Structure 1
Amino acid sequence: MQKVLITGTAGFIGFHLAKLLLSNGDRVHGFDGMTDYYDVQLKQRRHSTLLQNPGFSCDERMLEDARAFDETADRFEPDVIVHLAAQAGVRYSLENPRSYIESNVVGTFNVMEAARRHAVKHLLMASTSSVYGANTEMPFNECKKADTQLTIYAATKKANESMGHSYAHLWNLPTTMFRFFTVYGPWGRPDLALFKFVDAILKGRPIDVYNHGEMYRDFTYVEDLVRAVALLINTIPVRPDNPGDIEDGDSLSPVAPYRIVNIGNSEKVRLLDFINVIEECLGRKAIRNYMEMQMGDVPATWANTDLLQRLTNYRPQTNFKEGVQKFVDWYLHYYK
């Protein structure tokens, strides 16, 4: 049994990861700010579901409050910290960029400081496929440069990667950053495309289809994603004695126990095909409002997951048609 402190357990991915680790017999303590970026009731339902397991406990406080997070870490004394809490959303970052600095930079610094003080055996932190920005060589590879972020959200996540590397180097703090690719599934966020599309179609509202649907995403089913994260918890990076020993394709730093890992489905899906499947699952047609590309967005994402496979002998594989059906089933049950 491990003691795992997870930030963002009332959030979409944190909820699913906590559920999986609890089922594996770990003790989990959650930390979440319960902000009103989207429906707080949904967040509360996630936490109340987790609290039915005696191995789960949580604090509902803001990550930007260093004293609050330190108190939690001091009381729980984690073996591992998984940092998933963040101000998410590419589009919202155009409206309220300051919240991304406060949550994603200041909040992440507080997590890293606690991890350093407690000398945790592994710090794992969420990044995003958005850090690849204007890169066009696909599938995206962790060993390629990613210096052309297109939104403040992506820039804060790239900053987290750099901050994580410096702490790994300075304090010999084993750190893994994972870059998530378009996560979807039951209990998903209302600001994500799948949730918005299903909600609008059922209510007879139009859906906004950017770039006239000629966009491609590597849709990753949430249960696949958290399984990969759980496997990476015990895949602890070690500072190499000789940088020349690092295998080709491994993003391990030559000067720190630090690694970046893509977690995606390794399949490019056209947005129009994704919408067609939603319509099939609902038995209804969408009213489509075709629009130009939105500022800061990218036409395609696609993950190379060879490194994940090599490290964990696993890669996500849920077909998006199966995953969409599971989301629709959850949505219809949850909202009756």
Structure 2
Amino acid sequence: MALFDLPLDQLEQYRPPVEEPDDLDAFWARHLDAGRTRPVLLAAERVDTALTGVETWDVTFAGDAGHPIKAWFTRPAGTDDVVLPAVVEYLGYGRGRGFPQERLTWATAGYAHLLMDTRGQGGQHGSGGSTPDPVGSAPSAPGFLTRDVHDPETYYYRRLVIDAVRAVDAVRALPGVDRERVSVVGNSQGGGLALAVSGLVPDLAAVVASAPFLCHVRRALAITDAEPYAELTQHLAVHREAEEQALRTVAYVDGMHLVRRARADVLVATGLRDTVCPPSTVFAAYNHYGDLARDAGEAGPDREIAVYPYNHHEGGEGFHLDRQLRWLRARVLG
């Protein structure tokens, strides 16, 4: 894929006007308050992974509307009596939590690691998921982006963001976790969820988001026809009268809006040839990250962005994981 977006010098200065809903804060406060009326931990059962270096629990927690959400909780073996910093990880589009043996990086780096399953997903990539979505949808395009996109109250991604926040609540309720040192990480859809959570949970230790989805959605629709954004294009090609309402709904979950409220330091990554989550959409969120703190006269969170000029949606892969590990260690492990 050739370069198709703005030149890097323009991306670094790209701060599009914010068009967030007037009731954005009240909207999220209402849904967060409703979610937190229920106990968050529903079950945590130790599982045998046949691995000797880590210990794993099959966790169920109460997500949006109390729906049971599955997760794997993994920590270094022999640390039951040690309070560890935690990493909550969110998955990419179409993935489920798979097998606990598949994602060991953060636990073997010394963190307690909670890998959140994604409701209704797990049928497109990886080793499957374990969490059904009990909520139906009005007519939508194949995939998840347009499920109930005409109503922010029932929109799929509104519910998924609440799940993601409750995953932070869940890890903080587990034994042996340092509640003050919880970070969130993710790639693609997972990166978008990590950025959304950064604006809704004010006391995170750090945020790591690579090639984040659901940022500056209006821009994405204008410059890419790649999935998953193409789902919304396809849907609006049929429901021609619904554009204004659909874009208003998506604005509630747009990372460019939510990250303005972020307080935690962040490491972001983008590939300049990424048509799935175009670099200008990533820079739009990055450049607005922590705006409200700076507007209030505070220093605001530290921000770093890794740019991979010759990469598509795969970004820096293992090269960037090394940077993530070292970056997070410096901020959390000391």
TM-score (norm 1): 0.35
Normalising to structure 2: TM-score of the pair?
Answer: 0.36
Higher helix fraction (1 or 2) = 1
